[in-house]
A and B are shown apart, each in its own frame.
Chain A
Amino acid sequence: MANILSIRGVERRFDTTLALQATNLEVAENDFITILGPSGCGKSTLLRIVAGLDQQTGGEVLLDGQRIDGPGADRGMVFQSYTLFPWLTVLENVCFGLVERGLPRAQQLEIAHGFIAKVGLKGFEKHYPKQLSGGMQQRTAIARALANSPRMLLMDEPFGALDHQTRELMQELLLGIWEEQRKTVLFVTHDIDEAVFMGSRVIVMSARPGRIKLDREVPLPHPRHYSVKTTPQFTELKAELTEQVRVEVRAAQAAMEAA
């Protein structure tokens, strides 16, 4: 099967600093790729380039063989900050992209209600974002991105602002949806547990200038139950990744102190 996304020699320079070193990555259909790395390693920059929100200074990104040169509805995104439109209700937020596509209202509502139910927010359709908890807002944001039926889903530390317990529940929810829909996902995080539990592939990026240092298949079968986190396979991979990420965090700190 052809790869859905090809990242070829993509680099990003800010003035004189090289944030992202020529990076190559091939993403297959239905992959769930989690990207780990120390802060400032360019993992969010890479994701934003794929989203079309940032422009690479070299190389190219191909989606289904087409060069990406701007944001579009074919790549849905969930941000770390709460980006629901505060003037729209949960229902209207989920309908946002469907309205843009000019779908008939009845069809919009059918799709939106389906995804609202899927993220467990039935009964909250008329609520405004400010009336929801952080976890509920991110669930709405996931529903909003999925309702648009994008080719792939880009997630930039979507659960980073949530407390630990809520985050674990959100991971299970998203994984459940992925197991059912098999949407291709690129998921940036700095939580190693999260990266292993969610991903079918984990990528570790090096300290600045960022490049892909490690690329591992996650050998855990689906559907995954949260108890998988205590299996030897899980802890083994987690230990390896912890070691790898630690080296990079150290390197990033050393670079900071040297500067």
Chain B
Amino acid sequence: MNRATATLGTAAAVPAPATPRKRSRMKPLTPVSPGARIALGISFFVVFVAVWAIATFGGFVQKTFLADPVSMLQSGWVLLTEHGFAKDIGMTVFRVVGGFLIAAVIAVPLGVAMGAYKPIEAFFEPFVSFARYLPASAFIPLLILWAGIGEAQKLAVIFIGSFFSLVLMISVTVGNTRRDLVEAAYTLGVGDASLIRRVLIPGAAPEIAEQLRMVLGWAWTYVIVAELIGASSGIGHMITDSQALLATDQIIFGIIVIGLIGLASDLLFKWVNRRLFPWAQLGR
């Protein structure tokens, strides 16, 4: 209603009654300016590192259990320059992206088919719902038996961890397409194949892209689990090696690298989604 009146040129903003009460700094659901958002986001990182530094340099925590930030950075540098840690990072990224892509390439068409056609959904949905709760990490011993400790095993862990949930989410999203849009498309003369291609898929695409972004985050946790057991390279492998040496500085460096790469890939994914689906950003 508001939008309709606005086109007629009626004043949309009604001046608020002058209340002498002082404005509180925080009101529920009130947005924050972009500058303040970035500043607040960074300041918690600063607080976090500060607490960590106080705990370690202040001698509250023993070095055996938790390294301080500076020695973490130093040993990280050594890892990168002398022990070829960059190659481990590359391997891990390759596994995450590979496993995730294989899962996505199969899950997207299957999810769309299940969302669009109820018999297909009835056929797969109960099994997929069951398989979703199978813990991917518990498959590792089996997968080592089947696929050895090579790349196939790592990719399989990530696939099992992400595929089933992805299929279910996509199928629900496609199934929830607004019925009035479907009806409008039919009255414009589309057939069933066109409906899927021109209405169901484009309508669900932004949400599917968000789901892929979320699942890529999960893939990062699965890859490390896969690398902790039976791997000869990768960030997870470095972490297990460091555990034997009680090198907490290296372990923490590895964890932080995972976090940073995860954050970077997430931001990249968000940026791509915004570019691909500008219409989905409107009116948010």
Q: Please report A residues at the B interface, Cβ cutoff 8 Å.
A: 51-53, 70-73, 75-77, 79, 81, 83, 85-88, 96-97, 99-101, 128, 130-136, 141, 144-145, 148, 154, 162-163, 165-166
Contact = CB atoms under 8 A, between A and B. Distances in A.
A141 to B, nearest CB: 8
Nearest to A71: B186
B279 A53 contact: no
Given A87-B205, A130-B279, A163 B4 contact: yes
A85 B202 contact: yes
Given A87-B280, A128-B279, A163-B5, 7 more contacts: A51-B187, A72-B189, A83-B178, A83-B181, A96-B198, A144-B188, A148-B189
B110 to A, nearest CB: 22
Contacts of B189: 72-73, 97, 100-101, 148
A3 to B, nearest CB: 21
Mostly helix, strand, loop or mixed at chain B's interface?
A: helix
A23 B3 CA distance: 39
A162 B4 contact: yes
Interface of B: 1, 3-8, 178, 180-181, 183-190, 194, 198-199, 202-203, 205, 277-280, 282-283
Contact of B188 (A52, A135, A148): A148
Contacts of A79: 180, 183-184
A18 B180 CA distance: 24
A134 B183 contact: no
B78 to A, nearest CB: 51
Contact of B279 (A83, A86, A148): A86
Given A87-B205, A87-B277, A100-B190, A133 B7 contact: yes
Contact of A133 (B4, B178, B181, B185): B4
B282 A83 contact: no
Contact of A166 (B4, B203, B205, B283): B4
A132 B279 CA distance: 12
A133 B199 CA distance: 22
B207 to A, nearest CB: 12
A111 to B, nearest CB: 13
A53 B183 contact: yes
Nearest to B10: A165
Nearest to A54: B183
A134 B1 CA distance: 8
A87 B199 CA distance: 9
Contacts of A75: 187
Contacts of B7: 133, 135-136, 166
Contacts of B278: 128
16 contacts: A52-B187, A71-B187, A72-B187, A77-B183, A83-B180, A83-B184, A86-B280, A96-B188, A100-B188, A101-B189, A131-B282, A133-B3, A135-B4, A148-B188, A154-B187, A166-B4
